[in-house]
Amino acid sequence: MSTLDFSTELSRAGANVNSRLGAVRFFIRRYPLGAAGAVIMAIFLFAAAFAPYITLYDPLSTNAAASLARPSAAHWLGCDFMGRDVYSRIIFGARISLAVAVGSMLLGCSIGVTLGLLSGYLLGWFDLITQRILEMMQALPLLVMAIIMAAALGPSLHNTIFAIAIPLVPYVARVIRANTLSLREQPFVEAAKAIGMSEKRIAIRHILPNTLAPLIVLATAQLGSTILIEASLSFLGLGVPEPHPSWGRMLSESAAEYVRTAPWLVIFPGAAISFVVFGTNLLGDALRDLLDPRQRS
């Protein structure tokens, strides 16, 4: 590569970096609440990724001498009734909550996108049967459906992901189907058919990419709900079992008996759930306004 070519590539790289920084600055100025939500989510993602390096205690180790210890320099958020460090359990619990939320969202979106795309593009008897099944699934609220699934499957990490993912399928499928119905009548689809492109290629190459914007908005908005549902299932004893630390299980173990004598056992896990759900909702609202022109002010 000549010096001139290297300089050209370097200038292009600098222009790309400047454009990305400009996009970030625009997002912060235009959607400050969305940027705050992104910061909150980044903090929890950082804590989940580097949990072993930002904690001092094993979240599973017990210490009878530190049972119900108050927040102090040794234990920043106190200890539970078994002497386990609350701060360590909250940090490691972020891994469980985010893993379940992201896993269930990916699984639910994968199934929902497939059903919605086929239903909206093929129509006919497949669309009729699929929509009736999805309507029956939507007859129950999301949390109730997840409780039924979790109770039937039993408490485990994989079962919790599956129990939350299946109730999400109707919501994703109906959004993708609605977008597919409008996109299949667009001129670019008619042009693709005119040049002899197969139906499968049209659906995957031309229709599916145009449904990603509403899918991203829906997935981000529902991410907070999945975290809240996971905490609810763990609170009821239907989610991730012991010894894995879970925010909902921490509340279940402490809310009834220690809410007055050791309120930090309830306040800090509840605050973690509230902050992460709040952050995802703020980010989801900002992405909705950014990606949907009809929502822009």
- Measured N-to-C along each axis, helices 264-291 and 247-258 cross at an angle, to the nearest 10 degrees, of 140
Residues 66, 100, single domain; the answer is yes
* Closest by Cα among 96, 103, 106 to 48: 96
Residues 193, 120, single domain; the answer is yes
Domain tally, the chain: 2
Residues 25, 97, single domain; the answer is no
Contact of 224 with 284, CB cutoff 8 Å: yes
Terminal CA-CA length for the chain: 48
The domain in which residue 246 lies consists of 33-295
Residues 154, 90, single domain; the answer is yes
Residues 90, 5, single domain; the answer is no
DSSP string, 67-88: TTPPS-SSSTT-B-TT--BHHH
Helices (H), the chain: 3-30, 32-49, 86-122, 124-138, 142-153, 157-183, 187-194, 199-202, 212-235, 247-258, 264-291
Around 19, how many Cα atoms within 13 Å sit in the side-chain half-sphere?
A: 6
Q: What is the pLDDT of residue 292?
A: 61
Residues 61, 10, single domain; the answer is no
Residues 180, 259, single domain; the answer is yes
Contact of 34 with 283, CB cutoff 8 Å: yes
What amino acid occupies position 144? V
Contact of 222 with 105, CB cutoff 8 Å: yes
Residues 204, 284, single domain; the answer is yes
Residues 65, 161, single domain; the answer is yes
> What are the tokens at 97?
């909550």
What amino acid occupies position 125? W
Q: What is the pLDDT of residue 182?
A: 81
Provide the phi-psi class of 68: left if phi over 0, else alpha when psi is between -120 and 50, else beta.
Answer: left
What amino acid occupies position 210? N
pLDDT in tens, the chain (297 residues): 444 443 454 455 445 556 677 777 877 888 888 888 889 989 999 998 898 899 888 888 888 888 888 888 888 888 888 888 899 999 998 888 888 888 999 999 899 988 888 888 877 788 888 888 888 888 888 888 888 888 888 888 888 899 999 888 998 888 888 888 887 777 777 787 777 777 777 777 778 787 877 788 788 878 888 888 888 888 888 888 777 788 888 888 776 777 788 888 888 988 998 999 898 888 888 887 777 655 554
